[in-house]
Amino acid sequence: MSKIHVTTTINGDEVEFLCDPRETMLDVLRDRLGLTGAKEGCGTGDCGACSVTVDDRLVCSCLMLGAEAEGKEIATVEGIATEEKLHPLQKRFIEYAALQCGVCTPGILVAAKNLLERNPDPTETEVRYWLAGNLCRCTGYDKIIRAVMDTAAEMREAS
Amino acid sequence: MALDSQKTDGFKQVGTRPDRPDGVDKVTGRARFGADMTAPGMLWGAIVRSPHAHARIVKIDTSKAEAMDGVKAVVTRADFSTSVAPARGMRGEMWNTLENVMAGETALYDGHAVAAVAATSALAARDAMKAIEVEYEVLPHVTDVDKAMAEDAPVIRADTAEASVPEGMHPNVVRYHESGHGDLGAGFAEADLVVEEHFVTEATHQGYIEPHACLATLGGDGKGELWCCTQGHWNVQKVCAALLDLETSQLRVTASEIGGGFGGKTTVFIEPVALALSRKANKPVKVVMTRSEVFRASGPTASTSMDIRIGMKKDGTITAASGVFRCQGGAFPGAPMEFTAMCAFAPYNLKNVSQIGYDVMTNRPKQAAYRAPGSPMAAFAVESVIDELCNKLDLDTIDTRLKNASKEGTQASFGPKWDRIGLVETLEAAKAHPHYSEPLKPGQGRGISCGFWFNHGGETAVSLALSEDGTAQLAVGTPDIGGSRASMAMMAAEELGIPYENVRCTVVDTASLGYNEISHGSRVTYASGLATIKAARDAVKKLCARAAAKWGIPEDAVKWEDGCAVPSGPNAGEHDPMPLAKITAKMGATGGPIVGHFEATPEGAGVSFATHIVDAEVDQETGKTSVSRYTVVQDAGKAIHPTYVEGQFQGGAAQGIGWALNEEYVYGDDGRLQNATFLDYRIPVASDLPMIDTVIVEVPNPGHPYGVRGVGETSICPPLAAIANAVSNAAGVRLTQLPMSPPRILRALGTHD
Ligand code: FES
Ligand code: FES
């Protein structure tokens, strides 16, 4: 079957790949580009473990075709930390134990970062609804919500 | 029995909250989970599954699939062991597992594996899977526990019942449990009020976010490598070897990072299939379940039908209690009915008590453990009846529980006398908590429940190797399912007297340690923790010996203090403390590598109790329940890393909320699972839940050097009942069936007045 040639930007780097028309963006990231940070929890858009941003919009990469990445700017969990420095959200997630198994964490970090870029001062309810598309089975969300709220406060103070 | 060397205070590391060692990997996407591994030349596997609840497999035609481009291997049951044999009850568990992994003559449930294929890409494998033609002869099926016990129910597998099952029961009833003591008749006669009620709970799934995944390599020479997400890789090694007629030691299994398990990853599903495909194709094969496969074919918990009867005096004294617990665990023996029965009345000191359990087979997937298997359902039934009695007799729910509470020396409902336990302490802490005295708003109800879990020890091996620079490498064999590497490193650092950061804890493969039982039974911090402490003490003994040799004094004249060997006793003489790093720097020349070990089966896992308080509101128009406040009080024995203990409390409560309010396996009349997606099987999302408050009670477990009790499972025991009590009190009508989804609540409200 003939493959599609795609040129896109991922975490700031230009990337080219060939993909089957049926392959999702998540398949491409994980199986063609070696970016296994995004996880497949469901493949049906229900768990958020595969969250990435496409031109700053939060999407489930399992619901997007690889071919649709042409000309887009894609950001994944691998791009959140800059060189040696963790993003304040990443630091706070470790400090607060906002992860137990950590399989939901990449998606939740991508989603939370996207929220704070839009709304630096969210209420608890806003955080809970923004993250309602990201399932976590381990934590009961308590420590995740606290980590996001406190990071937001810290980032507001720092700016 | 208390360990003579139990340490309960003066800790430097234990009780602090350091960052976990795998934290950076997990927040940067670097951590490698089951599906994140690849191998050169790797193929992808896909599994063909039965669309029928019960069907004879007439014929499997693989020729079309085999002829497709990129297809390298197809396997069916013929490619697995022929020496594993069926047997009655749990004695046939190896055969049951084989039968579940790949169907033999009959597909026993919707989703049962019947064949598998490996091809050069995931898409090619999926296409080939669809080209495998299976001819079925559909058979009558049954998915409900009560119907499966009825006379006219189709027989799932004849001659499976154990001899203990009472004469005359349907062949689907395969195991039986009976325990208790006293004289029920006399006990009920003494009661001022007897409440009797029937309860039903639906099957729920553990709902880990990471689907089962593995990468297998197996050659014709019988040597293999397996990478998989599992709670116990030694068990995977043992079972896969048996199912494929391999020598156990020739298969090396490495546990990946694990994206949740909660009991559901304590067995094998796809691993033997991937190995069989690899052996046939002579290439590495990766198999990853889809979410719908996870729901249809990996183990949910048992569903239940239960009858509870409890008698109480006006002053709150329970005079007698009895329960009948029917659990279906799918098309195989193994529903945790004995745990259900034994946990049911465990919190109470009862003179007269009886519990009976039935293990029933149906055409559903083989159940797997789910966090304190069986206990949450039992607590739901029993604690609901206690709440009802308290309401009717106008008694305080915590005082009543305190009045009847099990304590050290009282006889457990299932037989033994309790050692030191912390139920009373959790009840007292709950009573003192501001949540318990906060006035309820109109429309709200409050619910209380206790919960109990045994906890477990199990085979454990740990080794701790010191490096020349004075740091330590700790090798454990229990997959880290919730931050346990941090706790292990803390305990090692505590004993060695070195900084936490100087200990690197790794979960090693099956070639690197002796057998380690699965990370289950809340055993990890208890058993691997105990093993870590003992291994560190073994290393310390060797360190002291090196110092003694250097000083020319007897070994027993040296003790370990703050990370240094120091002379001790009248004849030791004067020597400066010798720090660990100074000893290890010279160890090559003073006797060689210093390694501490522990290999044993610790037996002192202390049981654990919890008390939960819940406030809930019921929307009378829509039937929707909101949980407005939640407090978990639980005995941890000793919290090594309190943040992760809180996390276990909160996670168990959240799963319990899902089980109580939403989650259920829904089967159609055709016996097919109707809701095999996260959209339709709805686990709690962030906007469904409140913050979950926690209180850590510490009543030291006499069986652990620091007093640790397992904490992972007990946290899911009280929520079903606590929420049911809150909802019943808010709605003014007793809810006796889970989940308390809006339609069920509306139905219950409709029958009220
Ligand atoms: S994998 Fe994309 S939403 Fe679950
Ligand atoms: S930490 Fe395990 S799913 Fe969120």
Cα distance between residue A115 and residue A97, in whole Å:
20
Place of tokens 């958020």: A48
CB contact under 8 A, B36 and A80: no
- CA distances to A135, B463, B717 from B203, rounded to whole Å, are 20, 40, 15
| Residue B602 buriedness (CB in 10 A; 0-12 / 13-18 / 19+) | buried
Mark residue B13 as left, alpha or beta (left: phi above 0; alpha: psi -120 to 50; beta: remaining).
alpha
Chain A nearest C-alpha distance from B445 (Å): 22
CB B6 within 8 A of CB B182: no
Selecting from B26, B206, B647 the residue whose C-beta is nearest the C-beta of A139 gives B647
Specify the CATH architecture of the domain B374-455+606-748: 2-Layer Sandwich (3.30)
Backbone angles phi, psi at B523, to 5 degrees: -95, -15
Place of tokens 């899977």: B129
Q: Do domains B23-31+457-600 and B374-455+606-748 have the same CATH topology?
A: yes
Cα distance between residue B309 and residue B324, in whole Å:
9
Name residues of chain B where pLDDT drops below 50: 1-2, 752-753
Give which of B472, B486, B487, B481 is closest to B530, Cα–Cα: B487
B245 Cα distance to chain centroid = 28
Cα distance between residue B305 and residue B145, in whole Å:
7
CB contact under 8 A, B29 and A77: yes
Selecting from B19, B288, B651 the residue whose C-beta is nearest the C-beta of A100 gives B651
Q: Does A126 touch chain B (CB under 8 A)?
A: no
CB B699 within 8 A of CB B424: no
Domain B23-31+457-600 fold? Aldehyde Oxidoreductase; domain 4 (3.30.365)
Return the bridge partners of B567, or none.
B558
Place of tokens 């039903």: B200
Chain B nearest C-alpha distance from A71 (Å): 24
Give which of B203, B141, B200 is closest to B172, Cα–Cα: B141
Q: Does A17 touch chain B (CB under 8 A)?
A: no
Contact list, A2 vs chain B (CB under 8 Å): none
Cα distance between residue B570 and residue B573, in whole Å:
7
Cα distance between residue B19 and residue B14, in whole Å:
13
Name residues of chain A where pLDDT drops below 50: none
Domains and CATH numbers, chain A: 4-79 (3.10.20.30), 88-158 (1.10.150.120)
CB contact under 8 A, B644 and A97: yes
Return the bridge partners of B200, or none.
B305, B737
Place of tokens 């976010």: B209
pTM higher than 0.90: yes
Half-sphere exposure of B316 (CA within 13 A, CB side): 16
Predicted local distance difference test score (pLDDT) of residue A12: 97
Selecting from A20, A100, A128 the residue whose C-beta is nearest the C-beta of B483 gives A100
CB B135 within 8 A of CB B48: no
Return the bridge partners of B178, or none.
B356
CB contact under 8 A, A93 and B650: no
- Please count the residues of chain B: 753
* Residue whose CB lies within 8 A of the most ligand 2 atoms, among A136, A141, A148, for a mutation test: A136
Q: Does A103 touch chain B (CB under 8 A)?
A: yes
Strand order in the sheet with B625-635: B444-453, B608-618, B625-635, B692-697
In angstroms, what is the span from residue A137 Cα to ligand 1's centroid? Answer: 14
Best residue of A28, A93, A142, A146 to probe chain B, by most B CBs closer than 10 Å: A142
In angstroms, what is the span from residue A59 Cα to ligand 1's centroid? Answer: 10
Q: Does A74 touch chain B (CB under 8 A)?
A: no
The token pair that represents B743 in the structure block: 């339609």
- Angle, vertex CA B629, rays to CA B677 and CA B729, nearest 5: 90
Selecting from B19, B209, B647 the residue whose C-beta is nearest the C-beta of A103 gives B209
Contact list, B650 vs chain A (CB under 8 Å): 139-140, 142-143
In angstroms, what is the span from residue B8 Cα to ligand 1's centroid? Answer: 45
Q: Does A115 touch chain B (CB under 8 A)?
A: no
Relative to the alpha carbon of A50, which ligand is closest? 1
* Residue whose CB lies within 8 A of the most ligand 1 atoms, among A25, A28, A29, A50, for a mutation test: A50
Chain B nearest C-alpha distance from A65 (Å): 14
CB B255 within 8 A of CB B506: no
Return the bridge partners of A13, or none.
A10
Q: What share of chain A is helix, strand, coil (3-state, %, to 5)?
A: 45, 20, 40
In angstroms, what is the span from residue A144 Cα to ligand 2's centroid? Answer: 10
Best residue of A138, A144, A148, A149 to probe chain B, by most B CBs closer than 10 Å: A138
Domains in chain B: boundaries = 23-31+457-600, 374-455+606-748
Residues having CB closer than 6 A to ligand 1 are A 40-43, 45-50, 60, 62
Contact list, A103 vs chain B (CB under 8 Å): 33, 208-210, 257, 259-260
Cα distance between residue B627 and residue B619, in whole Å:
11
Half-sphere exposure of B522 (CA within 13 A, CB side): 28
Selecting from A77, A137, A140 the residue whose C-beta is nearest the C-beta of B689 gives A140
Q: Does A43 touch chain B (CB under 8 A)?
A: yes
Best residue of B209, B210, B287 to probe chain A, by most A CBs closer than 10 Å: B209
Cα distance between residue A144 and residue A155, in whole Å:
16
- Nearest-by-CA chain B residue for A27: B122
Contact list, A11 vs chain B (CB under 8 Å): none
- Show Cβ contacts of residue B592 under 8 Å, excluding neighbours closer than 6 positions: none
Relative to the alpha carbon of B482, which ligand is closest? 2
Selecting from A78, A99, A128 the residue whose C-beta is nearest the C-beta of B26 gives A99
Relative to the alpha carbon of A100, which ligand is closest? 2
In angstroms, what is the span from residue A60 Cα to ligand 1's centroid? Answer: 6
